[in-house]
Structure 1
Amino acid sequence: MTTVKFDGTPAGKVLVVGGYGAVGAVVTAALAEWFPGLVVPGGRDEVRVRRLGGVRVDVADAEGFAHALDECGDVSVVVLCVEPPDAGIARICLERGIHLVDVGATPRLIDAVADLHDVAVAAGASAVLSVGVAPGLTNLLARRAHEAVGGAERLDLTLLLGSGEQHGGDAVRWTVEGLAEPVTARPRRTGLPGYGTRTAHPFPFSDQHTLPRTLGVPEVTTRLCLDSRPLTAALFAARRTGLLSAARRPGVRRMLTGAFRRVHLGGDGFAIRADARSGDRRAFWALTGRGQGRITGLVAAHVTRELLTGTSPTGVHHIEQLPDLSGVPETLAEHGVVLHASGLPDRSPGR
């Protein structure tokens, strides 16, 4: 496997696409502290990016994006904090030998970028997918739990999100789309540090599609609940009755996205738990933190720093496939992220 070695200071700049958004602003600030003068924020609002010393980029305009790369000069890494319509932007980066960190969470788009593995290898570029909280930290905890039981037959991932946090439009729209998708798995009651036992409902996070391939686990299910119990119950009751299926229509999706962005009933805390089972062996890892968007940005920043200063394999990889990124949860301790369990016997309530 070919690797790329960087020595402390990147050879070129870091372009953060969506660099003034909820996640992108965190990425930009963290990287600017580590690599002063080398971080360029990008976005569609030309006034805002010029004020920040950045460039205008639109991920829906592949030709314009290529011109923006030329305008920036020598770019080493692109951090995608907004989701493009397809893998065209990733292809442009990787064909040029530019490394990529993708915060995207849509399985279809993640798979399309993963298909560019040979393109990246040929150009000597590295790309990291599944970067953030979910996917991201969920993937890393899943790997730890998987290894704790000597190879899991089943993984159950549980995510609790703070319903009081102000999320960006892309994140809310993605959540609305997920609520409209049909599910077959059942809800599960799980003990979450600091939140007690909660009922979490199956939700189409991309980690459950990725981990069977990257870890070789036959069955993976990710479930979601909110810190507000009444809001969780109401939301998933509406899904069971089919009321949210209309969100597949663009007009209804826009209306629901706007409505959900105005709902702030809880706090900004989150919790993750990964349970692994193999025969009679059970183990879990869990963590808690505050500010999902902020932590997503910090995960992306740490991944980018590793690409720039470490030895990374060329090609396209998910975060859990890179051993050098396994310690990311510990690096977030100074930002309030706390690991609560590590491969301990599971005594939480059953289903």
Structure 2
Amino acid sequence: MTTAKIGGSTGRILVVGGYGSVGATVTSTLDTWFPGRVIPGGRDEARARQSGGVRVDVSDTDDFREVLDGLGDVAVIVLCVEPPDAGAARICLERGIHLVDVGATRRRLDAVAELNDLAVDAGATALLSVGVAPGLTNLLARRAHDAVDGARSLRLTVLLGSGERHGVDAVRWTVEGLAEPATAPPERAALPGFGTRTAHQFPFSDQHTLPHTLGVPDVTTRLCLDSRPLTGMLFALRRAGLLRVARRPGARRMLTGLFRRIHTGGDAFAVRADARNGDRHAAYGLSGRAQSRVSGLVAAYVARELMGGTLPAGVHHIEQLPVLDGLLEWLGSHGVATLRLDRRADSGSGAHGHRKET
């Protein structure tokens, strides 16, 4: 297996979107590990300069190439923004630069995955599904899958805090997801710290990735918010088809602006993975606060591993590299004090109930 050529003790890290809600955590965390070698960047030149970084626009491939030419010694790039396509990823990989992609759009992640041969030839590594969902959901799914000796079905449940302030890309992605009709019925699940909630199918990319990476034929991801009334209202509007208007650019921008002003809950979140294989069932759950911060910590951890230069070259989703499995315990003991990991595995049991794993 080819390993990445760049990394180790040399090179710098460019964090695109490095002053945003996720990127600021990536930048500050990596700077504690690699002092003076982390460069925040983004399209807002004033904010980029104020944070000690550079202006960079990954949607403009010529601009992106110019910035990389000017910086010269970039070893890892962390994308905390959603480019319109896989062009930025291609530029990174063809130059042999490692990539951490915090994006969540299935279409673009699939396009980056198609660059695997390019990455292998260049000796570069790209890590996808890096965040909370996708990301922590993928890692929990992997554990639950292994606990039942190969799941035949996976049910992922995500609860997000509706009071947290998210970046424009994250809110726009949520609006786009609400415009899509459900493909599976709602289900109730016990979420650590929140009790039993009703969650609704939502187009998270993990449910499309995991059938390929884990070989599980049946995967569904559902979403609810910490605010029960807001959850009920949003998904009632979706059932009525009233949010399909968000498929139009103008309406999408309007709804994105509106949703960014809604802060009716807290900042806590929870994720859970239920795996089944015949009468065997395993459930892993994890909860914490400040989803954006935790997404940033996940991305920073992965970038640090890439800087070690020992990960296999190619394009991988986070659950495909066993060395990253320790991320769950690392989160529990570094900087996210309220995060906890729960597990239950048994035969023929229902979907509720957890015990604390030590």
After TM superposition, the score normalised by the length of structure 1 is 0.97
Quick check: 1:62 aligned with 2:64? no
* Letter of the 2:153 counterpart: R
TM alignment of 1:254-269, pairs within 5 A: 254-269=253-268
Kept in 2, the 8 Å contact 1:287–1:341? The answer is no
Q: Structure 1 residues 151 and 179, CA, compared in 2 at 3 Å: closer, same or farther?
A: same
Secondary structure of the residue aligned to 1:164 is coil
**CA–CA distance in 1 between the matches of 2:324 and 2:352?**
31
- Residue 46 of structure 1 deviates from its aligned partner by 1.1
* Structure 1 residues 114 and 278: CA distance shift in structure 2, 3 A: same
Q: Residue 284 of structure 1 contacts residue 344 of structure 1 at CA under 8 Å; is this kept in 2?
A: no
Q: Distance in 2 between matches of 1:200 and 1:36?
A: 42
Between the aligned partners of 1:27 and 1:97, the Cα distance in structure 2 is 21
- 1:46 paired residue number: 45
Distance 2:14 2:86 in 1: 17
1:7 and 1:210 mapped to 2: Cα distance?
27
| Whole-angstrom CA distance in 2 between matches of 1:140 and 1:79 | 19
DSSP-derived class of the 1:185 partner: coil
Given that 2:6 and 2:96 are in contact with CA atoms closer than 8 Å, whether structure 1 keeps it comes out as no
Q: Deviations over 1:39-59 (max 9, x none)?
A: 011111112212222111011
Judging changes above 3 Å, is the alpha-carbon distance between structure 1 residues 116 and 34 closer, same or farther for their aligned structure 2 residues?
A: same
Query: In 2, Cα distance between the equivalents of 1:209 and 1:7?
Result: 31
CA distance in 2, matches of 1:240, 1:80: 33
Displacement after TM superposition at 1:6 (Å): 6.8
The answer as to whether partners of 1:284 and 1:341 remain within 8 angstroms in 2 is yes
Query: Partners in 1 of 2:272 and 2:8 — Cα distance?
Result: 34
Q: Tell me the equivalent position of 1:29.
A: 28
Partner of 1:348 in structure 2? 351
- Two-structure CA RMSD over aligned residues (Å): 1.4
Cα distance in structure 2, aligned partners of 1:305 and 1:4: 14
Structure 1: which 4+ aligned runs deviate by more than 3 Å? 5-8, 342-350
Deviations 1:100-130 (A, max 9, x none): 0000000000000000000000001000000
2:290 alignment counterpart: 291
Q: CA deviation at 1:340?
A: 1.8
Cα 1:285–1:132 change in 2 (3 A) is: same
> Whole-Å Cα distance in 1 between the matches of residues 345 and 8 of structure 2?
34
Partner of 1:198: 197
Pair 1:98 & 2:97 matched:
yes
Which residue matches 2:356?
Answer: none
**1:141-184: per-residue Cα shift (whole Å, max 9, x none)?**
00000000010000000000000001111100000000001222
Q: Provide the rounded CA distance (Å) in 2 between the counterparts of 1:75 and 1:59.
A: 15
Whether the 8 Å contact between 1:55 and 1:72 is mirrored in structure 2 is no
- 1:195-344 alignment runs, 5 A limit: 195-309=194-308, 311-333=310-332, 334=334, 335-336=336-337, 337-343=339-345
Q: Is the 8 A contact 1:30 1:298 kept in 2?
A: yes
Stretches of structure 2 lacking an aligned partner (at least 5 in a row): 354-358
Q: How many residues align?
A: 349
Question: Counterpart of 2:311 in 1: which secondary structure?
Answer: strand
* SS of match in other structure, 1:216: coil
CA offset digits 1:184-239 (Å, max 9, x no partner)? 21100001111111000000000000000000000000000000111100110000
3-state SS of 2:243 partner: helix
The code of the aligned residue for 2:341 comes to L
Partner Cα separation in structure 2 for residue 341 and residue 197 of structure 1 = 16
Structure 2-normalised TM-score? 0.95
2:343 is matched by which residue type in structure 1?
A
Amino acid at match of 2:183: T
Tell me the residue number matched to 1:189.
188
Match of 1:127 in 2: 126
Against the structure 1 CA distance between its residues 248 and 315, is the aligned structure 2 distance closer, same or farther, given a 3 Å change threshold?
Answer: same
| Deviates further, 33-42 or 327-336 | 327-336
Percent of aligned pairs with the same residue? 70
